[in-house]
């Protein structure tokens, strides 16, 4: 018992030291003010952004509405007050689930997939992918992903036909309807038609359509590709790894079965 108590007290002192260290470091960080130059750059980005031109001012995010207290680094709850669907879906994703569970944000160091060494401590919150001052979602659609992801599928994107389609959007504030970025498939735009005026929002739950893959086929691939092409591509792990750099060679038996059933049903054997 004595040993347990003394270990307990040692642990408590260690935790107290850690807490003091965090507070000292933390206060050091909050004390660091933005320079005038940084502020000018941020202001310039904001002035032409969708935020600036919709009267979303600094205080909208950087000030507590009730206490008027200054908030240096607003969190996802601040974004959620306007971007409800985006944040709600983000919190159900692998990227956001730790925040939902009130844990520290996810970092690439916790991932099982290969991640870039220099990004291991990057904390997954809205700011990790979005520059909220420019509100430019072109960067969030590909560059942000490749800051951390280092697996073959991600790295091969740049050589794909999809990346060619994305090139036209590089100078825009958000990807055009013909662009295919990482986000097109993994954070797809969805139409919320439950509303009186249906709106297109971005489903930030990147795990929703990942497995089983047929959900991605229906929600994403079939916006552009035929069903057989889509299924024969996405069920071929090699082609997925190569990020679809060629036409599919797989021939899923399910389509043969369907064709045979159709022939039996219609009595037509011509096709």
Partner 1 sequence: MARILGRRLGKWVSLRTGIILAVIILLLWVSAAFALDQKQVFLPGETSEGHHIFEASCASCHEGFKPVSNETCTRCHQAELTDDVHGTKKFRDPRWAEYLERVDVLTCTACHNEHVHMFDRGVNLQPELCMACHEELTTTQLKSHEGFAADGCWTAGCHNYHDHRTISTGFLRQNIGEPDMLPVQVLPDRVVTTSLDKAPTPDLTQEFLGGGS
Site for partner 1 in 15-34 (CB under 8 A): 15, 31-34
Q: Which among 19-27, 102-110, 114-122, 145-153 is the span making contact with partner 1, rule CB under 8 A?
A: 102-110
Counting residues that bind partner 1 (by CB under 8 A) gives 89
* Window 122 to 141, contacts with partner 1 (CB under 8 A): none
Q: Could you say whether residue 227 binds partner 1 (CB under 8 A)?
A: yes
Among 26, 254, 263, 269, binds partner 1 (CB under 8 A): 254
Phi, psi of 31 (to 5 degrees): -75, -20
Among 9, 258, 263, 269, binds partner 1 (CB under 8 A): 258
**Rounded least distance, CB 266 to partner 1, Å:** 11
Whole-number Å distance between alpha carbons of 51 and 58: 10
Among 68, 194, 238, 267, binds partner 1 (CB under 8 A): 68
**Residues 187 and 86: beta-carbon distance below 8 Å:** no
Site string for partner 1, 162-181 (x = CB under 8 A): -----------xx-xxxxx-
Query: If you search the block for the tokens 């240096």, which residue do you land on?
Result: 72
Q: Which is nearer to partner 1, 3 or 167 (CB)?
A: 3
Q: Could you say whether residue 194 binds partner 1 (CB under 8 A)?
A: no
Query: Where is 175: in which H helix or E strand?
Result: none
Q: Could you say whether residue 215 binds partner 1 (CB under 8 A)?
A: yes
List the one residue out of 156, 69, 53, 7 whose CA is nearest residue 61. Answer: 69
Q: Could you say whether residue 228 binds partner 1 (CB under 8 A)?
A: yes
Q: Residue 191 has which token pair? A: 């139409």
Whole-number Å distance between alpha carbons of 67 and 94: 33
Q: Could you say whether residue 191 binds partner 1 (CB under 8 A)?
A: yes
- How many residues are recorded in the chain? 271
* Window 29 to 58, contacts with partner 1 (CB under 8 A): 31-36, 39, 43, 46-50, 52-55, 57-58
C-alpha Rg value of the chain to the nearest Å: 24
Q: Could you say whether residue 225 binds partner 1 (CB under 8 A)?
A: yes
**Number of Cβ atoms within 10 Å of the Cβ of 44:** 13
Q: Could you say whether residue 212 binds partner 1 (CB under 8 A)?
A: yes
**Residues 244 and 233: beta-carbon distance below 8 Å:** yes
Q: Which is nearer to partner 1, 157 or 208 (CB)?
A: 208
List the one residue out of 149, 159, 179 whose CA is nearest residue 245. Answer: 159
């Amino acid at each position: 018992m004595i040993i347990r108590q003394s270990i307990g007290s040692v642990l408590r002192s260690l935790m107290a030291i850690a807490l003091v260290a965090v507070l000292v470091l933390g206060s050091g960080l909050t004390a660091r003010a933005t320079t005038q130059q940084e502020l000018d750059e941020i202001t310039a980005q904001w002035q032409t952004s969708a935020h600036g031109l919709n009267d979303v001012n600094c205080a909208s995010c950087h000030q507590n509405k009730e206490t008027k207290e200054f908030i240096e680094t607003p969190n996802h709850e601040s974004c959620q007050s306007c971007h409800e669907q985006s944040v709600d879906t983000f919190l159900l994703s692998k990227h956001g689930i730790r925040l939902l569970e009130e844990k520290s944000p996810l970092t690439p160091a916790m991932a099982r997939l290969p991640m870039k060494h220099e990004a291991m401590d990057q904390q997954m919150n809205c700011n990790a992918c979005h520059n909220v001052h420019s509100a430019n979602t072109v960067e969030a659609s590909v560059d942000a992903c490749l800051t951390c992801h280092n697996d073959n599928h991600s790295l091969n994107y740049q050589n794909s036909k999809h990346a060619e389609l994305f090139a036209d959007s590089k100078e825009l504030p958000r990807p055009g309807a013909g662009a295919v970025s990482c986000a097109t498939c993994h954070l797809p735009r969805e139409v919320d038609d439950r509303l009186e005026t249906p709106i297109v929002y971005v489903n930030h739950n990147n795990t929703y359509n990942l497995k089983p893959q047929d959900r991605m086929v229906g929600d994403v691939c079939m916006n552009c590709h035929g069903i057989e092409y889509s299924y024969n591509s996405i069920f071929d792990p090699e082609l997925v790894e190569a990020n679809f750099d060629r036409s599919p060679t797989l021939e899923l038996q399910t389509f043969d079965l369907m064709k045979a059933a159709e022939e039996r049903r219609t009595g037509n054997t011509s096709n």
